[in-house]
Amino acid sequence: MTPKLPFQLKNPGLFKDKSYVDGEWVEARSGKRFDVIDPGSGQVWASAPDNDASDVDHAVLSAHSAFQHYKKVTPRTRAQWLLKWDALIRENKEDLAHIVTYETGKPLAEARAELDYALGFTWWFAGEAERIVGTVQQPSAAGRRVFTVKQPIGVAAALVPWNFPVAMVLRKAGAALAAGCCMIVKPSPETPLSVLAVAELATQAGIPKGVFSVLTTSLENTPPLSEALCRHPLIKKVTFTGSTRVGKLVAKLCSDGLKKVTLELGGNCPFLIFDDADLNQAADALMALKWRHAGQACITANRVYVQSSIYDQFALLLKEKTSKLVVGHGADQNTTMGPVTTPQGITKALNQVEDARKHGGQIVLGGGKVPGKTGYFFEPTIIVGAKKEMLITQEETFAPVLALYSFDTEEEAVEAANNTSMGLASYYFTKNIDRSWRLLENLEAGMIGMNTGNSSAAESPFGGIKESGYGKESGKDVAVAEYLITKTGTLALEGHY
């Protein structure tokens, strides 16, 4: 029986609260379920099957069996299925946005924006499917022909986060399905329902059974279930988006089977503003980047470095703009910033603020939980006088807390920006073209925003360096390549060997 939802779906058939394996909606073998909580109210509003490691083998075997057919489907048919999926997600965007809001807490406008972003991937990878090409080499020996062909690697497992539950799934599944691979998705325990809704639309799009499966699980069973996926001999590829700590565990588990792995890990991204920048442009970009999903994006600005001559002016401008944010339930039309998704987000934010205070930082805005609200609300917080000794400098915040550091020279700013084990994205604002080129070359990150805080798009390769992981998602060729093997063919013509 469908539970009574706290919102209305235009298409009630989109609410699915069973796992999706081999084209069937199924419970966990144990029969256990776990709760799904609305971060905006702290209330349980649904539940999903609590699969454990014993549920993995059946899912993998059925995906492997589907792969025997799917790998032979023409790329054009795969592209057509992806486009049909894309059309259905577009049609059901409003319903999906509501599910995303009630799972993540993000405002509806942001949930809609996530859907638009996610649709970029189904659209893009539909185009990529038919453009997978091998190569022909010039042979060094007479009478030889040497070439490479690309083939799908096999069944892939996707371990996805809760912050962009639909976009992260479509970025991974779009590439995998275009390449001819089948995928088993393990959503985060916070966000199973949006992923299950997307699975329902995959079925309606005609994507064959077993090609796209979803194994939901609780926080408690996430480690054993993920380990079983990573260790299963028929899983040939694992893609993970999440923390660096867990990414290292995933890499270790996959190393036993020498599995191909893509890791999109933590950020701790620097955001540099020079005194020749357009301050309004920089402040607007920072507002959009930092407060998006209450600071819970891997590419968000974690450390904001402002040149000393404009420091006070910029801090004031940012404070003025940030004060206008309306914090509330994501489904409320007036809300411009929602809650954080988990109570742990609040704990971490409080710790970092307290630590910044201890180190002499000044909290010029916010600094604590939003009083008088149930749900996981934290005030948008600005710390000035931030220093390198602070916790916030060393670890990703993943909450609406922004720290402003001061610098004098470009060299100093670059050194501070790079002084982290992470290397996901870096951003800078300057009108000096020479400096711009130097910064592009000198900043240690996989993605550089030049006078912009928004560089995520289906056509742009997404991925970090250093401890932010390896592999690329989205972008031309590179993303699909993560799901392909290269086979070299050498042919000897008659009379040669």
> Is residue 460 at the binding interface for ligand O=CCCC(=O)O, with CB under 6 A as the rule?
no
Return the residues of window 248-307 that contact ligand O=CCCC(=O)O according to CB under 6 A: 297-299
> Is residue 163 at the binding interface for ligand O=CCCC(=O)O, with CB under 6 A as the rule?
yes
Smallest gap, in angstroms, from Cβ of residue 380 to ligand O=CCCC(=O)O?
19
Host H or E run for residue 271: strand 269-273
**Nearer to ligand O=CCCC(=O)O among residue 298 and residue 417 (C-beta):** 298
Do 467 and 421 meet the contact criterion of CB atoms below 8 Å apart?
Answer: yes
**Nearer to ligand O=CCCC(=O)O among residue 308 and residue 454 (C-beta):** 454
Do 408 and 308 meet the contact criterion of CB atoms below 8 Å apart?
Answer: yes
Smallest gap, in angstroms, from Cβ of residue 169 to ligand O=CCCC(=O)O?
12
Host H or E run for residue 427: strand 425-429
Number of residues that bind ligand O=CCCC(=O)O (CB under 6 A): 7
Smallest gap, in angstroms, from Cβ of residue 198 to ligand O=CCCC(=O)O?
16
Candidates 67, 164, 271, 428; binder of ligand O=CCCC(=O)O (CB under 6 A) is 164
**Nearer to ligand O=CCCC(=O)O among residue 164 and residue 212 (C-beta):** 164
**Nearer to ligand O=CCCC(=O)O among residue 299 and residue 401 (C-beta):** 299
What residues are annotated to the active site?
A: 264, 298
**Nearer to ligand O=CCCC(=O)O among residue 221 and residue 420 (C-beta):** 420
Cα 300-167-301 angle, rounded to 5 deg: 0
Specify whether the backbone of 359 is left (phi greater than 0), alpha (psi in -120 to 50) or beta: alpha
Q: Comparing C-alpha atoms, which of 114, 163, 197 is closest to residue 294?
A: 163
Half-sphere exposure of 324 (CA within 13 A, CB side): 7
Q: How far is CA 433 from CA 310, 391, 409, 429, 430, in A?
A: 20, 34, 16, 11, 8
**Nearer to ligand O=CCCC(=O)O among residue 89 and residue 384 (C-beta):** 89
Smallest gap, in angstroms, from Cβ of residue 468 to ligand O=CCCC(=O)O?
11
Cα 265-460-185 angle, rounded to 5 deg: 50
**Which residue in this structure is represented by tokens 């659209």?**
123
> Is residue 101 at the binding interface for ligand O=CCCC(=O)O, with CB under 6 A as the rule?
no
Rounded CA separation 1/254 (Å)? 39
Binding positions for ligand O=CCCC(=O)O, rule: CB under 6 A:
163-164, 297-299, 456, 462
